[in-house]
Each structure stands twice: as C-alpha cells, then as structure tokens.
Structure 1
C-alpha cells in the first residue's frame, strides 16, 4: 500500500516541524504536502541532490516549505 503524500511529507520533516504540521487541520497538511511535491519537481538544485541522496532532497524541500508556510 503506497504512503500518501502527507505521510511522506511528514516523514521528510525534522521532528520540530513535523509536530507543528501534525497539529494543523488535515486540509492545511495536504496543502503543505502539495507545495512540497511542487518544490521537489521544480527546483533543479534538488534534482542533483536527489541523485546523491533522495532522502536528503526530500528533507531539504520539506524544510523549505515549512519555512515558507509556517514562518
């Protein structure tokens, strides 16, 4: 069974940001997860990092999204 985007996004976050996002309504979590997917798709720097370490690229994108949207 595939993991949904929100769960993947939460897994990529650091513990502090993960706790904060988990406290948000599901709709907001989904919006952040969608922004995370967009960040992964559109940032060419992450493509290079993804080739070296997919987990590191996902974590970097999650951190960027959290900073942009959570302040």
Structure 2
C-alpha cells in the first residue's frame, strides 16, 4: 500500500504543489505530514486534499480554516 495526497482547487482542478508528490508508508504518516504542510500547500494554491490508499479515496478535506 502506498498512501498519497491528491491536491485540488475548490473547483476540483488538480494542483501539483512545488514540492511534488509525497508517498507515505501509512495513513498516520500521511496525516502527520499534511498537518505540518497544509499552510504551504494553501500558499501553493491548494484548496482541498484527498487522502488516497493506492487509488482508493479515503477522505477529502478543505485546507482552509473555518
């Protein structure tokens, strides 16, 4: 299993952040990373992050506070 994040604009358009695509060995690692990196992702134009386990969507979340 490979855990990744897919990054999107509010309209669903895919965004490739400056750092590229990260891969994680587990869900906890992916969630820890997004917790540390979400502000930079927002600066890179990301509105939503979708957690993927291989190609299976686990959940989607907004990166905007509120």
Both structures adopt the same fold (TM-score exceeding 0.5):
no
Structure number with the higher helix fraction is 1
The alignment's TM-score, normalised by the length of structure 2, stands at 0.30
Query: TM-score, normalised on structure 1?
Result: 0.29
As a proportion of its length, which structure holds more strand? 2
